[in-house]
Structure 1
Amino acid sequence: MCTSEPMGDEVVRLEGCSVTDNMVEGLCKLKNNSSNNNNNNNIRCVELENCANITDISALAHIATLEEVTIRNCSSLRIIGSLGPSPPSLRKIRLAGTVLTGAQLQKLKDSRVEIVFGSSEPPTPSRGPGEDLVKESVELVRDLMKQFKPENVGIAFNGGKDSVVMMDILQCAMGREFLSQCCVFHLEAANEKEFQEVVMFREAFAKEKKLSIVRSGHKASMKECLAQIKAMKGIQVAFMGTRMADGCHQRTSVERTTAGWPDLLRACPLFSWSYEDVWGYILTYGLPFCELYSKGYTSLGSADTTLPNTRLCRVDGTFLPAWELVDGRSERYGRLNA
């Protein structure tokens, strides 16, 4: 829904789940068209409210007359781009029910933009990953989805921290309805014994997101599990939470499976993310996670061969939470078979 204030100084209001990034980009085109037509109306203020499907508002930086932006309850907002340094006319941003990272807030402050928070106290600055990294992941998903229908898309979800972040990136990029149209699956290899806490978390997550998780059934290997999922659902691309640091054979974020595996395109939106990036994102946006991470587990494998990370052990024998790990390179120190 858009409402405009006449008399030359225009206020544009966008509200509701139907608002998309493309509509925000459309404001810039509207402004340019108005200028070409010698229209005296200028966009001075943009209000975004309850826009759950807006992820990127960087296009607002191209509205040279923009002076004020109000953002209320836009839970999927992740990218602001050069908003702040550009346009130079921007003087104030009002925030309520919407999270910006510490780096984003600092950029606005450095540009002398006044930030007005909806609550009496400003939020604690977060350490979320760099905006460019998030934008790269979102664009990877959107570019790939120009090639595939949702019913041919598989999403591997085991309940670990990486898969939680990947699910959020997918939702931010494509919307919650997109997730419900894809095949969300979990591979159950026979030699893996799951933590009960992981199983319970995965089920609770699926219930909250209103997703049905397809299970492969216990097979001898991950290859057989994936082959069964492909045969059952006809998926052509599989999104996975794999990162470069996992030490797998994958060399880029998007590759075909290697010989011997079911023929699929493997897409890894978090491929370039570090351990610190993952936890920064989870904590910044308040994503849910398995309780084992609060007990010192940093990488969840089989329950038979996974322990809390010794790098997080306190003097009294208890453990710091996973996000307190100083060096992400020691992420797998709790894996006995790593």
Structure 2
Amino acid sequence: MSVEQYQKEEEGQKQQQQQFFKRCQECYNLIVQFQNDTLPSGLVPSRHEGYQYDPELRKSVKAKIQLSMQRLDESISHHGLKEIAISYNGGKDCLVMLILLMATIYKKYISTTNEMGSHDIHKIPADYKLDSIYVNSETPFPELAEFINESTEYYHLNPIIIKDSMKHGFEHYLSNINTNIKSVIIGIRFTDPFGENLVKEQYTDHNWPKFLRIHPILDWKYVEIWDFLIGTNVEYCKLYDKGYTSLGGVENTIPNPKLKLPRSEEYLPAYRLRDNADTLERLGRIKKEEWKQSEFHTSSKSTTTH
């Protein structure tokens, strides 16, 4: 590589990092405004006028934000930013996790000053990029694939897409793509499959490639995830507005039957699922052949949860 090529590449990395820091600042400002009820879009943006605002729920979300950002700050301090990546599949939980992480990075390294009155941004490596790992063996919805591409570009992440099983995909990533990574931030919640016995940090087991799993939104509830996304007015995958509440592959995911409108083929948006939402969230995870033969597909009776 010539000196000119090296300088050009170095300048490109610098610009990419500056753009990433800018998004981190935007995420931080978003959090501050959300916490203070000062967002320009108000408590509920007009485009989500069907959302039922609950002041007690909003209060709970604000507390969860503080706790999650505290956990993320501690994890970054203990393990080092350069050794941390995120698992990002474009879903609602991962999106909340990403925004909280980027806000934490800004607060920790850029917004605060040390005793000498200067920023701690110099503690971030000059070539730093936040790897967003998407390991998937299923056929994704086009809308989801599009959102993953758009959001990783918008937030200036370093997208790593691997078509494989989760276990083999992470093994390949850690061994061949980024050997510096020792920890992965994952947007799993207690109510997710295999989530009930997790703690905020723990190492992989059962012959998985070894890395530390960090779970900053472990104790968030479904309705809290949606109150955050609605309240902050951020863009999310369009499938959620079509009644999908949990996103898997094309062959095993349908809109949530509980959101189906009576005598119609249309569905309410995902944020309208409120009662027993954590229990009913994955009701749309079913093979389509089974769904076609089920009572949910043939019944015109209303099962909507408001």
Consecutive unaligned residues in structure 1, runs of 5 or more: 1-50, 56-73, 81-92, 103-123
**CA-CA distance at 1:54 after TM superposition:** 9.0
Asked whether the equivalents of residues 296 and 308 of structure 1 are also in contact (C-alpha less than 8 Å), the reply is yes
- Structure 2 partner of 1:270: 217
- For 1:204 and 1:54, the matched residues in 2 are separated by 16
- 1:194 matched to 2:140: yes
- Following superposition of structure 1 onto structure 2, how do residues 231-310 of structure 1 map, counting pairs within 5 Å? 231=175, 232-234=177-179, 235-248=181-194, 250-310=197-257
Pick closer, same or farther for the CA change 1:333–1:97 going to 2, 3 Å.
closer
- Structure 2 partner of 1:228: 172
Asked whether the equivalents of residues 256 and 263 of structure 1 are also in contact (C-alpha less than 8 Å), the reply is yes
Q: CA offsets per residue over residues 64-87 of structure 1, 9 Å max, x none?
A: xxxxxxxxxx4331686xxxxxxx
- Following superposition of structure 1 onto structure 2, how do residues 91-106 of structure 1 map, counting pairs within 5 Å? 97=39
- Structure 2 partner of 1:330: 280
- 1:208 matched to 2:139: no
Q: CA offsets per residue over residues 296-325 of structure 1, 9 Å max, x none?
A: 000001110100000000012210000001
Consecutive unaligned residues in structure 2, runs of 5 or more: 1-23, 45-52, 111-120, 291-306
- Structure 1 partner of 2:100: 169
Pick closer, same or farther for the CA change 1:184–1:54 going to 2, 3 Å.
closer
**TM-score normalized with structure 1 length:** 0.62
**CA-CA distance at 1:96 after TM superposition:** 5.7
- For 2:73 and 2:129, the matched residues in 1 are separated by 15
Asked whether the equivalents of residues 27 and 99 of structure 2 are also in contact (C-alpha less than 8 Å), the reply is no
- For 1:286 and 1:223, the matched residues in 2 are separated by 34
Pick closer, same or farther for the CA change 1:54–1:182 going to 2, 3 Å.
closer
Asked whether the equivalents of residues 77 and 99 of structure 1 are also in contact (C-alpha less than 8 Å), the reply is no
Asked whether the equivalents of residues 155 and 183 of structure 1 are also in contact (C-alpha less than 8 Å), the reply is yes
**CA-CA distance at 1:53 after TM superposition:** 6.8
Q: CA offsets per residue over residues 93-122 of structure 1, 9 Å max, x none?
A: 9x86567869xxxxxxxxxxxxxxxxxxxx
- For 2:219 and 2:39, the matched residues in 1 are separated by 29
Q: Determine which structure has the larger strand proportion and give its number.
A: 1
Q: CA offsets per residue over residues 277-297 of structure 1, 9 Å max, x none?
A: 100000011121111100000
Q: Determine which structure has the larger helix proportion and give its number.
A: 2
Asked whether the equivalents of residues 313 and 320 of structure 1 are also in contact (C-alpha less than 8 Å), the reply is yes
Q: 3-state SS of the aligned residue for 1:145? A: helix
- For 2:155 and 2:259, the matched residues in 1 are separated by 32
**TM-score normalized with structure 2 length:** 0.68
Amino acid corresponding to residue 139 of structure 2 in structure 1? K
- Following superposition of structure 1 onto structure 2, how do residues 57-68 of structure 1 map, counting pairs within 5 Å? none
**CA-CA distance at 1:243 after TM superposition:** 0.5
The size of the alignment, in residue pairs, is 232
Amino acid corresponding to residue 149 of structure 2 in structure 1? E
- For 2:34 and 2:232, the matched residues in 1 are separated by 13
- Structure 1 partner of 2:4: none
Identity of aligned residues (%): 23
